[in-house]
Copies of this chain bind each other. A is one copy, B any other.
Amino acid sequence: MNNTLIFGHKSPDTDTICSALVYADLKNALGEEAKPARLGDISSETQFALDYFGVTAPEYIEKVDEDVDNVILVDHNEFQQSVDNINDVRISEVIDHHKVSNFETKEPLYFRAEPVGCTATILNKIFKENEVIVSKENAGLMLSAIISDSLLLKSPTCTAEDREAAYELAEIAGVDLDTYGLEMLKAGADLSDKTALDLVTMDAKEFTMGDSKVQVAQVNAVDTNQIYASQDAIEKEIEKLINDNNLELFLFVATDILENDSDALALGQAKGNVEKAFDVKLDEHNRALLKGVVSRKKQIVTNLSEQF
């Protein structure tokens, strides 16, 4: 029997964790052996969803064991966001909704990326294509992933397909979409127990823009001022990350989930590119309000890349 491991990106978000769990369950239903895994800590938002639907988190792995035959990547494809020994494993499948970059295989594979707002939306289609019934738990996890990636259907990344899937899944999961969604987002936005290091690493992604290495970290908050009360400590952690990883830019994005705006902090040699990308001026604290910006993928990375 094939030994297959399914995992999402480092600094896992709710879509990454839920998609790994749900896709492994679907594979099992189809008679294929597959186990979910994760590459980092579970966020409080994700934990809320897991607890709500009574599902156990996937096992943490540092690297892929030698006895694993295949890995399936969900919710990412770029190798720098994946497991450290990604170059030594056989990738049999990718299910993703991001741009394709820094990815290659030696053999043909099943690679399915669609320009939708969430990996779980694609998984919901795959259930239908294979005529497998979606359980209450799987519906709850996929719904949570869509709510998380779309900030309750408000992000510009959210497509009609995501919206339709969300309403359909809420019905199966037996929850009211808005009530459950806001509760889950607030659980993730409860940052009271987070250290400055937690804040800058809990959802950070690295990108290569031009020849430069850039990290963009995003945290959701109900009150962004509360985050920046500890700006000094946050800056110290970011400066350390910039030095340790030779980053040209670290952009820290605090997103207000009620206002749907972001208060961003830019550090590093290339911080001027943030001003150009969003047509803003960084204030004396290196911060700027990005009006209506909530999507790292569609509003931040695309605009920022063009400046490098």
The chain A residues found within 8 Å of chain B, CB to CB, are 97-115, 297, 302, 305
Contacts and interface: CB of A to CB of B under 8 A. Distances in A.
A97 B104 contact: no
Contacts of A113: 108-112
B108 A98 contact: yes
Q: How many copies does the complex hold?
A: 2
15 contacts: A99-B106, A99-B109, A100-B100, A100-B111, A101-B105, A103-B104, A106-B305, A107-B302, A108-B115, A108-B297, A109-B113, A110-B113, A110-B114, A111-B111, A111-B113
Contact of A108 (B97, B107, B305): B97
A107 B304 CA distance: 12
B100 A109 contact: yes
Given A108-B297, A109-B113, 7 more contacts: A97-B108, A99-B104, A100-B103, A100-B109, A103-B104, A108-B114, A112-B112
Contact of A100 (B104, B114, B305): B104
A108 B99 contact: yes
A107 B112 CA distance: 15
Contact of A107 (B99, B106, B109, B114): B99
Contacts of A98: 108
A158 to B, nearest CB: 13
Q: Among the interface residues A100, A101, A105, which one has the most CB atoms of the partner chain B within 10 A?
A: A100
Contacts of A297: 108
B110 A115 contact: yes
Contacts of A111: 100, 111-113
Contact of A102 (B104, B107, B114): B104
A99 B305 CA distance: 26
A187 to B, nearest CB: 27
Nearest to A109: B115
A113 B105 CA distance: 12
Given A109-B113, A110-B114, A113-B111, A101 B99 contact: no
A90 to B, nearest CB: 12
